Amino acid sequence: MRVLLIALTALVLSSCATLPKLDAARDVHQFLVAVRDGDRAGFEAHVDRPALKSQMRSRALAEAPDLLGQQPLGVVGALLAGPLIDLAVDALVQPQVFRVVALRMGYSPDQPITNSLVIARSLRSLGGGRVCALDKDRCALVFGEEAGVWRLVAYEGDLSGLARLARPR
């Protein structure tokens, strides 16, 4: 009887951890469909644009000294790059750019997007109302819950590679 009670408790606790992922998976599925279909309205409905732009801008500015070198001119260049980074981030927060990310994660436009149950298994809970979609065991897309909708709030992949990957071939 004690073993049964322990197993039941474990099942209940694991299902509690899974419920937010299932909820998030529905919106992640809708995001992926919008990305696949180039549906700007669907994309915007599942992107917290200010949060995503702020996160990507912060990362780009933090990585700028590495890209420009550590010389004093490199630091000045990084400071002047702020407005250019804003323009670049605006250009990157587009469905067609994230279609490339989805492709890298295994979502092909010529195949149906996997269902929410499959997506839920590939999400990692980050706590604080956030989950991430994995790309080869690495967090790539971070979604946060806002007013009952899970929206993309951060991109954890390679920023320099994102622009390169997004260029038309």
Q: In this predicted model, what pLDDT tens digit does every residue of 90-147 receive, in sequence order?
A: 888 889 889 888 888 888 888 888 888 999 998 999 988 999 998 888 899 999 998 8
pLDDT band at 77 (very low <50, low <70, confident <90, very high): low
Is 65 a member of any domain? no
pLDDT at 7 over 80: no
Query: What's the mean pLDDT when you consider all of the chain?
Result: 78
pLDDT at 71 over 70: no
Is 45 a member of any domain? yes
Q: What domain range is 155 assigned to?
A: 23-53+96-166
Is 12 a member of any domain? no
Pair 144, 129: CB distance under 8 Å:
yes
Sequence-ordered list of residues with C-beta below 8 angstroms from that of 55, at least 6 positions apart, any chain: 153, 154, 155
CA 94 to CA 75: how far, in whole Å? 29
pTM: 0.76
Is 141 a member of any domain? yes
CA 69 to CA 18: how far, in whole Å? 44
Is 135 a member of any domain? yes
pLDDT band at 157 (very low <50, low <70, confident <90, very high): confident
Number of domains in the chain: 1
